[in-house]
Structure 1
Amino acid sequence: MEVRLQAQEDEITLLKSSLADALRRIRLHDQLLPILKQQLIAGESPFSPPRSEASRGRTSRMEAAHQRSQALAQPQSEPQSRTSSPVLVPCPPSRKERRNNCSIKMFIRGRPITMYIPSNIQNYEDLKMEPPSERLELDWVYGYRGRDCRANLYFLPSGEAVYFIACVVVLYHINNRTQRHYRKHTDCVRCLTLHPDKVRVASGQTAGVDKDGKPLQPCVHIWDSTTLVTLQQIGLGTFQRGVASVAFSDSGAFLCVIDDSNEHMLSVWDCNKGTKHAEVKSTNEAVFAVDFNPSDSTNIITCGKSHVYFWTLNTGQFTKKQGIFGKYKKPKFIQCFVFSLTGDVLTGDSEGNILTWGKSAADVKTLAHEGSVFTLCTLQGGGLLSGGGKDRKIIRWSADLAPERECEIPEKYGAVRTIADVDGEELLVGTTRNAVLRGTFSDGFVAIVQGHVDEMWGLATHPSQNIFLTCGHDRQVCLWNTEEHKLDWCITLEEYGLCAGFCPNGSVVSVGLSTGRWMVLDLLTREVVSESTDGNEQLSVMRYSPDGSFLAVGSHDNFIYIYNVTESGRRYTRFGKCNGHSSFITHLDWSKDGKYIMSNSGDYEILYWDIAAGCKLLRNRYESKDREWASYTCVLGFHVMGVWLEGSDGTDINALCRSHSERVVAVADDFCKVHLFQYPCPKPKAPSHKYDGHGSHVTNVCFTHSDSHLLSMGGKDTCILQWRVMGGGSGDSRERLGSVSASSTSTNSPEPATS
């Protein structure tokens, strides 16, 4: 039904555009008719041979007008499917004007969008689109995936912590504070394990889909943590939905995998050959962990919802024994397990217990935590660490499970998700609120990695410093330092933030919220210096004018609210309201002189506003074709038309941002990609550089003030990627736009239409 409804909406849009074209042609004929009558009254046929120089001039003009009217009367074919391919359409002359101009029409979901070519382009067809000389190199990854993944933090002999977020496995040197990145995965990484040699790593990914909606095959990568070279790709085309858990045998010769299918298939693979050794259906219930018995690689244990299974592998066949809880109450979840030095199996469950198992039966119960035991970690001397959920405690146990020490991590970091032993004293702790902590029982713990814990949309870079601000559905507003790669501060709001913008003086930042409310924060004190409410729907864009005298607030109620800004960004008074869009505001930009605004909306409109004239809608969009813009974040416009792929949906591009040098434009798309295009890129199929790393739709991109770095923000993957901008040359966008020779010829164009 949804598909049929969308098809009907597209047909209605096409009919509307056809009707608009027909009315335009009728108006043109009505304009030509008085001229033809005047010529006939004068006793002269506009098509008869001329008798003088003057009559030759009049006749040639009329013939040209007749030919133009005939051309316009020709039926225009509409696209049969949604497309963004531009169509060259003649546009009518203004009264003052001008001969060598035309417009470009592109279609999105069947809706025609007309864009006018700037005056300095004499021949649009001769424009050459090339990929930019600038390139991106991944510099830093902010965040950690602890919210919904287990056993995903390890410490390497190299001094690096290895963990993952989105499609990137991060190797973070905890002393040097440097990062390396393994980036061969094509979708979100879901699990991780370390080889017994402490060098090789196995990481499994989810399936995901490509830009056409086709499923991508999940797999496991075995790679060298020293060189970042992929050694083996395991199970491509075998696993369903994704890889949930992986584990190496004690010798490292075999790899055990649990996939995300309904049956949670358990399979064993030869690591050197990459071949499957055995496979069996494990259970229809959730499986949380899998591992080989370190003393016997033919024995494998799995645990999850209400079960512990003891598997034996013999001649390629699995046999299974179910763990017997006996006199103990069966817990709802078995969250984790480890092997003690004596060979016993120790499990942590949702009742807060550590159970000791002997030959598939629970022998001893130790009450460890209030709430779930989320993780267990064995120490070299035979001791044990346990991490709690509800109580957020880390407890150190002796070999015979006598409690020795305990500490509690701060509430703001969430529960303990996983623990990695550094040297017997120092620990790394991954938490459920996507933080990695470092510390000891005696000194406490500090965060060395932090991130958002829910979908993010708001991103803004400081106008003169190397800092940026983010906000999202987790109600957190965070200020980050791009040089020191750390979180400067973070505050929690009552509602979630969706957009942000720095005042040009850099002292305050405005944040738009989900309820129509917005606030202005002082960067130093973090205090709210001003707040207001516009409508009762979410806000989508906050943008200051270049001199900081105005603030434009774009809302989902279809209005743009304009405020006067005084007292260095601390006082705001309503100036006016831009009323004219028929759908919610998505993007907007100020002109360089601070007098005009260009805006986009959810129904793919491009409108222009004269703010100085009282927020007046400029109905003749042709007059804005040569206007220069202080920023370019609107996804629809002549200068960025080439970023849209043929067949694009109107929601395929979430955000774009032009560099301050006006040389390149970065694009955030709905297919986990960041693109870098030459700016301007007004022709279809413009070439770009494409970059992977995000594991969900990329919601925003923004250049730092010096264009040295680009920030990109994932939505559901809660990941922020910081890219270093490499290369580049001299020259700006105006030189490239005007690169077509002024002597190039162009067909005469008719009178510009208003909209």
Structure 2
Amino acid sequence: MSKLCCCFPNRNRKTDKKNNSSDFLEGANSRVNVLSTSEINSSKEENPTDIQKEIPAIINIGEINERATKQKWNVSSKFDLLCLDRILSPLKEYTLNVELPPKTLSIENVYGYQGMYARRNLYYPIESPSAQPILYFSGKLAILSYFSLRRQEFYTGHDNPITCMAIHPDGKVAATGEYGNSPSVHIWNIPYIEKDGKENDDIKNPIYILKLDKRFTQTISMSFSRCGTWLLVVALNQSYSSEILCYEWKRGKEVNCVFCHDDKVFNIIVNPFSRKEFVTLGVKYIRFWTIDNVLHPVDNIEKNQNLTVTHISGSYLKSKFFVSGTIKGDIYFWKNGLLSVVCNNIHKGPVTVVAPLQNNNFLTGGRDGKIIYWNEQHQPINEFTMEGSPCIRAIDAGGLEGVLWGWGEGFGRRASKSFRGLNNGFRTRNSVCSNSFLHEITRSNSMLTVSSNTYSVNVNNTTANNIDTLANDEPMDEQKFSDISYIVGCEDSSMYIFSQTDREPIRLTEGSCCSSDGDELWGLDTHPLNSNIFVTCGDDGYVKVYNLERKELMKKKNYGIRLRSICYSPSGINMAVGTNDGSFFIINENLDIIISAIIDRRATIYDLAYSPNGKYLAVASHDNYIDIYEVESDLGYYQRFMSCRGHSSYVTHIDWDINSSMIRSNSANNELFYWSLITDANKSIDPTSYRKVDWHSSKCILQWETKGIFGSKQVKNTTTHEDIEHFLSPCTVNCCDRVKINNDLQLLAVGDAFGNIYIYRFPAFSNDMQYQAFHAHGGPVANVKFAVNLKTLISIGATDGLVIQWNLDNVE
């Protein structure tokens, strides 16, 4: 391989690497112990690592820059735009068209669920005649999913990732809070979809946007009061202390703000039997409060303020007990603000969620991946283990923790009736079943204890050769969605429903697992022949195949190694997968055969690309090399026959030309190289021959056709009409891809480190190029790819694990 030219010097080099009394509680099995306060104080110390994992992330650009030193991406904004003039134009003439491209992108579907750091972010508060909506958030999006209709609605008003959510007691208004300096809380209508599928625009227009003071850096948890008059928000200030803000939300007015705790607070939970009472839980902290003219703690809880236990989750039960879960796996029962009973070692590790059921039963979920079922006598009698034992982050049984079931019915529901579009002649009904699924198991396993009953759940899959695939291709049965017992959200970005009609849970959605341990999602490719198929891979070790038409995960397999890049062969029969340890392997499209595994490098494989004729595979690594392999056949041998050496930093992107004879490449320090597939060392090379080439792909972010994407760019929030400015350089642009719609229109999609996607006309070689900008991801956009149907764009988030399916509108 001969190097033709180097267009850029080294710049911004990236660094490597049923009873209300306690009598029933006391009658529980031997694992339930009643402790005094002094005994609690002398209990074992908490694990600081566990506490840190439960603290919501505080994300800002400074932190991203700090991570850039340790990770394989950089967000430095320093870049000399004059260097772009050194890229010579191709000899082929292009007509300059700087006009705004057609309004192209709309979100069609989001795969995945915000499982990391999130709690109480999964609800289904209303029940419609056509479908039962499930409400949750991911990235900068609040998502309302009608899974039986395979349809989603989105609230897109946030400029920063959403960190918490609350639903009004009427079940028709939602509030979402975000992080960032002066974070905001958005209150918006939950749309009602008619049977005819008519769209409702209420979700696009917020009722109020409440802006917090500059001293706050993040909203942590929020809840509407039982009467619906107030919105209570827990926010973290710059001193890492927590404060409670009380809003009379219908007037958009803050009525009170008080100091809450000198450390992190995880949850705020209202009392469904009281109009004014609520509870806050945090690091070595629990406190019961009441709302009068001001917020103040309940006096009798002061007797228990010397507790040294971190409380993460909690909920009120129909018996009026308050149940809290701790970082050590214990369950605490409180009556009238006083500690009554402690159940030790229920979970191995933090109890991340406590979810009430309608009949005084309740569920607890933990980091150990278990869901434990508690009976009416408040005894644990059964447990379930989810596939892969992911941390359970949210469980919802449809009653808004008792409010929609009529607990404390005398207080009434009255707050949101004055807003347009909230009632529509629609009366809220109970949306939870009688939990017959759980009772059936309990009857068949009566008198069994938690320690002797573990049910491992294979979620709607058949397993063969460690490959998970959907059981059948039939449409989802809508009856299952009307029989929901409860919904479970997991940290691995998956969501499931338990229904009366199925003994096994049904997987609703799944993205990729991006964790606090640094797991990220970078690999993406679309099938070269089948317009409905695309594939992803990430640090969780999974290769996942999705179906665009059905909007669901089709199959997946865990290869037990951190994966970074993936690409289809031109025939679509095979896939090449690059890892973080310098190896790559070839698998068939069914994921069940590893055709070849090759280890020629020592560090991350950032990009792979088959030549258009399928005879070669180019592999770009962290070792600054591009290795070229000869491909014998789809099921044949891969032989390396040359290496491209010359980059002074690791290679990030590679493109082939249409004749499979040339390559262009980008490196981490903003180099653009061109290479010619010539093996004869005596043959002369025209150093400008790359100007005559037509390129098969446009993955390289630094090229003549993308010169106009760099510089200061504005992203307009179509909901709040605010503009946010970003500076784009080759270090803040992670990916790009082009599509040819027709002879007159080609489009270029660009993803940046701030979670934004830009659409330009292609080629975008002028600084005067106009663009459309869209925001949805809660972190860097790792990759973008157009499907071969020319109607769909797929984007993935590096740190949020989101996989978003965008529809190209107004293009023919």
TM-score, normalised relative to structure 1: 0.77
Please, which of 238, 249, 252 is the counterpart of residue 225 of structure 2?
Answer: 249
CA shift in 2, pair 1:275/1:638, >3 Å: same
How far apart, CA to CA, are the structure 2 residues paired with 1:352 and 1:616? Answer: 72
Query: For residue 309 of structure 1, what is the aligned residue in structure 2?
Result: 287
Query: For residue 497 of structure 2, what is the aligned residue in structure 1?
Result: 438
Deviation, structure 1 residue 476: 2.0
Indicate if the aligned counterparts of 1:608 and 1:621 stay in contact, CA closer than 8 A: no
Matched, 1:172 2:150: no
Please, which of 711, 720, 733 is the counterpart of residue 653 of structure 1?
Answer: 733
Deviation, structure 1 residue 418: 2.8
Query: For residue 524 of structure 2, what is the aligned residue in structure 1?
Result: 459
2:396 partner amino acid: I
Written as runs of structure 1 = structure 2, the 5 A alignment for 1:135-284 is: 135-157=104-126, 158=128, 159-207=132-180, 215=181, 217-226=182-191, 227-228=202-203, 229-237=205-213, 240-261=216-237, 262-284=240-262
SS of 1:336's partner is strand
Written as runs of structure 1 = structure 2, the 5 A alignment for 1:50-65 is: none
1:605-633, Cα deviation, whole Å (9 max, x unpaired): 22211114369999754221121011111
SS of 1:272's partner is helix
Please, which of 739, 746, 761 is the counterpart of residue 663 of structure 1?
Answer: 746
How far apart, CA to CA, are the structure 2 residues paired with 1:639 and 1:293? Answer: 59
Deviation, structure 1 residue 238: 5.5
CA shift in 2, pair 1:324/1:363, >3 Å: farther
Deviation, structure 1 residue 293: 2.5
Please, which of 534, 539, 542 is the counterpart of residue 605 of structure 2?
Answer: 539
Matched, 1:472 2:542: no
CA shift in 2, pair 1:352/1:579, >3 Å: closer
Written as runs of structure 1 = structure 2, the 5 A alignment for 1:8-23 is: none
CA shift in 2, pair 1:478/1:219, >3 Å: same
Q: Highest Rg: 1 or 2?
A: 1
Deviation, structure 1 residue 143: 0.8
Query: For residue 682 of structure 1, what is the aligned residue in structure 2?
Result: 765
CA shift in 2, pair 1:249/1:596, >3 Å: same
Please, which of 271, 274, 289 is the counterpart of residue 293 of structure 1?
Answer: 271
Query: For residue 575 of structure 1, what is the aligned residue in structure 2?
Result: 641
Q: CA RMSD in A?
A: 2.6
Deviation, structure 1 residue 119: 2.9
Query: For residue 89 of structure 2, what is the aligned residue in structure 1?
Result: 117
Deviation, structure 1 residue 569: 5.1
Q: Which structure's relative contact order is higher, taking Cα pairs within 8 Å and 6+ residues apart?
A: 2
Query: For residue 722 of structure 1, what is the aligned residue in structure 2?
Result: 805
Indicate if the aligned counterparts of 1:84 and 1:645 stay in contact, CA closer than 8 A: no
How far apart, CA to CA, are the structure 1 residues paired with 2:210 and 2:98? Answer: 40
Deviation, structure 1 residue 667: 0.4
Deviation, structure 1 residue 329: 11
1:699-737, Cα deviation, whole Å (9 max, x unpaired): 1110011221001111111111110111235xxxxxxxx
How far apart, CA to CA, are the structure 2 residues paired with 1:689 and 1:187? Answer: 19
Query: For residue 549 of structure 2, what is the aligned residue in structure 1?
Result: 483
How far apart, CA to CA, are the structure 2 residues paired with 1:242 and 1:364? Answer: 34
CA shift in 2, pair 1:619/1:248, >3 Å: farther
1:238-269, Cα deviation, whole Å (9 max, x unpaired): 56111100000111110100012222111111
1:342-389, Cα deviation, whole Å (9 max, x unpaired): 433222223433322123321123457232332222222333222233
2:86 partner amino acid: T
CA shift in 2, pair 1:416/1:668, >3 Å: closer
How far apart, CA to CA, are the structure 2 residues paired with 1:591 and 1:389? Answer: 49
CA shift in 2, pair 1:354/1:581, >3 Å: closer
Matched, 1:333 2:333: no
CA shift in 2, pair 1:301/1:288, >3 Å: same
SS of 1:642's partner is helix
Indicate if the aligned counterparts of 2:618 and 2:628 stay in contact, CA closer than 8 A: yes
Which stretch shows the higher mean deviation, 386-395 or 523-532? 386-395
Deviation, structure 1 residue 554: 0.8
Deviation, structure 1 residue 577: 1.0
How far apart, CA to CA, are the structure 2 residues paired with 1:544 and 1:295? Answer: 63
How far apart, CA to CA, are the structure 2 residues paired with 1:614 and 1:480? Answer: 44
Deviation, structure 1 residue 325: 8.0
Query: For residue 499 of structure 1, what is the aligned residue in structure 2?
Result: 565
1:198 partner amino acid: G
Indicate if the aligned counterparts of 1:607 and 1:621 stay in contact, CA closer than 8 A: no
Structure 2 unpaired stretches of 5+: 1-8, 12-76, 192-201, 399-431, 436-484, 515-519, 713-726
How far apart, CA to CA, are the structure 2 residues paired with 1:559 and 1:322? Answer: 68
Indicate if the aligned counterparts of 2:265 and 2:283 stay in contact, CA closer than 8 A: yes
1:223-244, Cα deviation, whole Å (9 max, x unpaired): 1111313111123445611110
1:291 partner amino acid: I
1:171 partner amino acid: L
Matched, 1:133 2:118: no
Deviation, structure 1 residue 298: 3.1
SS of 2:207's partner is strand
How far apart, CA to CA, are the structure 1 residues paired with 2:651 and 2:663? Answer: 12
How far apart, CA to CA, are the structure 2 residues paired with 1:329 and 1:244? Answer: 24
CA shift in 2, pair 1:281/1:416, >3 Å: closer
Please, which of 429, 445, 448 is the counterpart of residue 508 of structure 2?
Answer: 448
SS of 1:246's partner is strand
Deviation, structure 1 residue 685: 3.5
How far apart, CA to CA, are the structure 2 residues paired with 1:447 and 1:617? Answer: 59
How far apart, CA to CA, are the structure 2 residues paired with 1:424 and 1:256? Answer: 31
SS of 1:562's partner is strand
Indicate if the aligned counterparts of 1:537 and 1:557 stay in contact, CA closer than 8 A: yes
How far apart, CA to CA, are the structure 2 residues paired with 1:615 and 1:349? Answer: 69
1:397 partner amino acid: N
1:378 partner amino acid: P
Indicate if the aligned counterparts of 2:709 and 2:767 stay in contact, CA closer than 8 A: yes
Structure 1 unpaired stretches of 5+: 1-11, 15-80, 86-105, 208-214, 730-755
Query: For residue 693 of structure 1, what is the aligned residue in structure 2?
Result: 776
Indicate if the aligned counterparts of 1:657 and 1:703 stay in contact, CA closer than 8 A: yes
Indicate if the aligned counterparts of 2:320 and 2:335 stay in contact, CA closer than 8 A: no
Equivalent residues, number:
615
1:102-124, Cα deviation, whole Å (9 max, x unpaired): xxxx42xxxx6622223343xx9
Indicate if the aligned counterparts of 2:370 and 2:383 stay in contact, CA closer than 8 A: no
CA shift in 2, pair 1:680/1:368, >3 Å: same
Deviation, structure 1 residue 451: 1.6
Matched, 1:424 2:402: no
SS of 1:131's partner is coil
CA shift in 2, pair 1:412/1:341, >3 Å: closer
- Identity percentage over the alignment? 25
Indicate if the aligned counterparts of 2:568 and 2:576 stay in contact, CA closer than 8 A: yes
Deviation, structure 1 residue 278: 0.9
Matched, 1:364 2:341: yes
SS of 2:149's partner is coil
Query: For residue 350 of structure 1, what is the aligned residue in structure 2?
Result: 327
2:739 partner amino acid: S
How far apart, CA to CA, are the structure 1 residues paired with 2:585 and 2:775? Answer: 34
Indicate if the aligned counterparts of 2:751 and 2:783 stay in contact, CA closer than 8 A: yes
